[in-house]
Amino acid sequence: MSKMKRKNSLDSWLNPEFSRRKFIKVSGILASAATVTNFIKPTPAYALTAGEFPPDPLESDAGVDIKYSVCLMCHGSCGIRAKVVDGVLVKIDGNPYHPNCLEPGERLSYATPVNEARNRVGTVCVKGQSGVQTVYNPYRLLGPIKRAPGTKRGEGQWVSITWEQAIDEIAQILSPYADTGTLIDPSAPELGPIANKVLFSPGRLEHGQKEFTDRFFKNQLGTINHRHDHTSICETSHHVAGSLTTDGKNNHFKPDVINCRYILYIGTNPLEAGFPMNPLSRKTMEFKKRGGKMVVVDPRFSNTAAKADQWVPIKPGGDAAFALAMIQYMIGNGRYDGTYLSNANISAALESSPKEYSFTDSTFLVRIVGGRAAAYLRADEAGLPGGTSSEYVILDESNGTAVALPDPANTSNPARRGLLEAPGDSIVVNGHTCKTAFTLLKEQANARTMQQWAELCGISVSVIENIAIEFTSHGKNAVANPYRGPCKHTNGTYNVLCILALNTLIGSMNWKGGNTVGGGHWHEADGKGAPGSVDVTSVPGGATASGIQVTRVKANYETDAPAIFARDGGYPARRPWFPHAQNGNFQEILPSIADRYPYGIDVLFTYWNDMVYTTPAARATYEAILADESLIPHFIAFSLEPDETSCWADYILPDPSYLERWGTPHVAPTIQTKVSSFRQPVVGDFDADMNYTPAVGDTMLIEDFFVAVAKRLGLPGVGAGAFADGDKLDNAWDWYRKLLNNFSAESGVSANEILAKGGIFEGDEAAYDGEYMAHRYQGIIRLFIESLATTKDSMTGEFFDGVPKYEPIKDVMGNELVDDVAQYPFALVTYKPVNHTQSRTIVNPWLVQVLMPENYVEMNASDAGSLGIETGDMVKVSSISNSVGIKGKAKVTQGMRPGVAAISQSYGHWQLNSRPTVTIDGMLQDYDAGRGKGLQGNQVLRLDPVLGNVTLQDKIGGSASFYNSRVRIEKI
């Protein structure tokens, strides 16, 4: 065996003997010392690389530098305050200016000078604090590597190369594809040009970087496959549902937690995986202190359920049934806000008492054709005098006659109120049978009896009714909040549409203590901010991307791809198309490439993307695809270490950790004030031209890399005159300097102050406007989704339904999947524990060895008892798609719905230096076996039985299914 290159194993990273007492003692030495002594001086770096707790110097100690940046241990974007000693990051706390880190009344006013902030800290969670170990992770790649000549992909044989060589070779690879003039297939021009055969897929990429890589791949190179991000394995169907209800204007809603009085969390877990978990945890505790009531609907007793007033262990996939049962009860018992729902346009909403800032389509007439809700009735179809095809039709509230409703979002149109229901539920207008959108929702809710809904969701009628009563007992101060749980099903979008309808019925949008869209942010990139802003995304003389993404998102099979449609004989398509999946389709990337449908990809770039590990049912199929150079001739991965995906690459390019780069991440709408965080390196060095050298190894910022590649290729948009205002782009700082300037132009805050305080943060007083949120969504909220009702499913050729509904679990052809309960008795769910993200935090020893060294197969005590399984027993978990299965330890609990098993994410790595699989320059690299502990549940999730090489998925939202798989559990 080759000599190990690195000697330190994880066991020595974290010395279990290093007690809290010893830690305090070391801190005490620092506190009492006027200067950092020679004895202590090397300790921070040693402690961090060795995994020990480093000393935490006082702010008053000499040599302690305080820098503000932004966390990326999860997507929460909490501001951080980094203590740096002698160029070494030793401690991370929360930025006291940042609203993620302190509550109103505690947070520093933005006007507070930085020197007065020095002794103030905000909160960060345990993941955030362990970010120091992401920087000093001893297994990080120290420079770019290339697959060793003569070896195959995945063999783990690498040679070091210089960045110069990487830039030269990758520019050479890209050169033939900088072509937006030659079509991929002249017989199918809709597919677009050769440039589209380059695909960029980031796993975790945040604002600032997103706009930069979009600019390179889309506007300089010209590929339509410029950003296939991970959202479809995260939570996309709730974004899509939200967007469908608001005409694309908003796609993410959160309760105003502190002021809310009743929160119904459905499949969301703010105290573990919610982002931002750090402020959500604080706000939830404050909410509880103020007497708020929290009900958690989740098959697993999560951290959030542990703090709830009521835990409702729903059957996985029963979300729509639960919500529709509530709707049936609410409508049947008059427990909805009829005044709000009768407002047919914004003028009526603004004039109503109480005043509203949103309105709904509840009163809009919808044409019923062949028994289905086909489309809104338009005024010309209704035969109304002067009626046009752009006007809706309502039944006037005063006399029930059909009247035209011109642009309902235009405040200059007169107020209109309509009847919620036609007399007798339907009405014939000019020969068209019509129902109101409200009636259509009511009919869906009444499609089954309460008892039938209760059986489908596994919650008793009395529990559902009590929740419906309580939900409707707090006026506008109640919110039903869905997230990943309802989303990650084949019926994910409909599940969320049903849940969002609960909020619509009580009209809680925009109210203090109601449903909110958050405070928003200043504009960093698009030049929309203010005079003086520059659209830095545009490239003078750049390319225009066109064609269809390889995953067929935002494209309609029949109308956007007429040549492909004709070639393949119409319906069904060879693979599904996703016209509504605005956030992409991550799980379809590799299977689509393998099927070359609708075309192949020649150059695959990934960035912080471990799709083989993180995607359901992916391992065997994805590994086979990535191994095959005839399917993907070039694979370049940006990755800190060879992980389960980048281990198959031809090149691995290590960009720096998040604490060694810039970024402008946005926060979730949990925060009700305007926030623009600014990430910046807290360690590393700059030269006079602001060229940045990261702290660890010979790593390179992705921005610097692509600027260099673009220059090699002679692409426009770099060097002198790169931007519309003539400014230059020579390095990463040039890009972020432009973003900073845009922030400054819009906010009036200087770039230096933004850097000094880690961003721009509106004051707490800006959150509310009397009884309303100050930052509001003003516009329509739809119950009927016409764009769905008029779109055909590419596989069945039938129209989607436009009304929120219950839909069983189906394969891609629309066949209902009937569970083999005898063979596979358990529904399997996965989740993120509080100390981890999906895949990458296993490298942080404090989060593993200190908190939870391995994960488990969690199951209810009654199920375990019947199988003779006890906590700690080894079990095998297998499924219809993976009979070999996975093995791990059982954990027996009462906190699980019987018949359900759960496996947390993050554990059970088989690459990521968890085994001796990586050889660089002939030297076998050391590994950390602790990263392989536990098991990884994605491997037994279910493949779509029709397609065979991709997981089950939601054809509307594009979500991968994580919660529609059944498994067998056996003691071994």
Contacts with ligand SF4, residue ranges (CB under 6 A): 71, 73-74, 76-78, 124-125, 127-128, 276-278
What is the 3-class SS of 687-723, one letter each residue? CCCCCEECCCCCCCCHHHHHHHHHHHHCCCCCECCCC
What crossing angle do the helices spanning 702-713 and 732-747 adopt, rounded to 10°? 110
Sheet holding 923-924, edge to edge: 198-202, 603-607, 634-638, 651-653, 145-147, 157-160, 919-920, 923-924
Q: How far is the CB of 311 from ligand SF4 (least distance, A)?
A: 23
* Residue closer to ligand SF4, measured from CB, 519 or 957: 519
Q: How far is the CB of 852 from ligand SF4 (least distance, A)?
A: 16
> Cis peptide before 482, with omega less than 30 degrees from 0?
no
* Residue closer to ligand SF4, measured from CB, 104 or 719: 104
Q: How far is the CB of 94 from ligand SF4 (least distance, A)?
A: 7
Q: Which of 832, 763, 826 is nearest to 970 (CA)?
A: 826
Q: How far is the CB of 836 from ligand SF4 (least distance, A)?
A: 10
Contacts 24+ apart (CB under 8 A), 722-727: 722/539, 722/540, 723/534, 723/536, 723/540, 724/527, 724/534, 724/535, 724/536, 724/538, 724/540, 725/534, 727/534
333 CB-side CA count, 13 A? 13
Nearest-angstrom CA–CA distance, 176 and 191? 17
Q: DSSP letter at 605?
A: E
867 CB-side CA count, 13 A? 24
Nearest-angstrom CA–CA distance, 645 and 154? 9
Number of residues written out for the chain: 972
* Residue closer to ligand SF4, measured from CB, 66 or 344: 66
* Residue closer to ligand SF4, measured from CB, 673 or 882: 673
Helix (H, G, I), strand (E, B) or coil at 540: coil
Give Cα separations from 295 to 304, 390, 457, 463 (angstroms): 9, 42, 16, 11
Q: Which of 527, 482, 530, 531 is nearest to 502 (CA)?
A: 482
CA 835 to chain centre: 18
* Residue closer to ligand SF4, measured from CB, 241 or 277: 277
Q: DSSP letter at 219?
A: I
* Residue closer to ligand SF4, measured from CB, 73 or 653: 73
**For residue 264, what are the β-bridge partners?**
295, 480
Q: How far is the CB of 891 from ligand SF4 (least distance, A)?
A: 24
* Residue closer to ligand SF4, measured from CB, 196 or 906: 906
The letter for the amino acid at 544 is T
* Residue closer to ligand SF4, measured from CB, 55 or 128: 128
The letter for the amino acid at 211 is E
* Residue closer to ligand SF4, measured from CB, 49 or 130: 130
Helix (H, G, I), strand (E, B) or coil at 337: coil
Nearest-angstrom CA–CA distance, 394 and 427? 11
* Residue closer to ligand SF4, measured from CB, 635 or 846: 846
* Residue closer to ligand SF4, measured from CB, 438 or 831: 831
CA dihedral over 830, 831, 833, 838, signed as positive or negative:
positive
Q: DSSP letter at 645?
A: T
Which residue's CB atom is positioned nearest to ligand SF4? Answer: 128
* Residue closer to ligand SF4, measured from CB, 356 or 610: 610
* Residue closer to ligand SF4, measured from CB, 318 or 759: 759
In this structure, what is the dihedral angle of CA atoms 23, 27, 29, 32, given to the nearest 10 degrees? -160
* Residue closer to ligand SF4, measured from CB, 125 or 422: 125
Q: How far is the CB of 251 from ligand SF4 (least distance, A)?
A: 21
Q: How far is the CB of 71 from ligand SF4 (least distance, A)?
A: 3
- Radius of gyration over every alpha carbon of the chain, rounded to an integer in angstroms: 28
The letter for the amino acid at 287 is F
Q: DSSP letter at 378?
A: B
* Residue closer to ligand SF4, measured from CB, 805 or 832: 832
Q: How far is the CB of 841 from ligand SF4 (least distance, A)?
A: 9
* Residue closer to ligand SF4, measured from CB, 76 or 316: 76
Residues 202, 213 contacting (CB under 8 angstroms): yes
Q: How far is the CB of 671 from ligand SF4 (least distance, A)?
A: 12
Residues 722, 711 contacting (CB under 8 angstroms): no
Give Cα separations from 805 to 367, 441, 517, 519, 546 (angstroms): 18, 8, 24, 31, 35
Q: How far is the CB of 278 from ligand SF4 (least distance, A)?
A: 4
* Residue closer to ligand SF4, measured from CB, 557 or 658: 658
Residues 646, 653 contacting (CB under 8 angstroms): no
Q: How far is the CB of 217 from ligand SF4 (least distance, A)?
A: 27
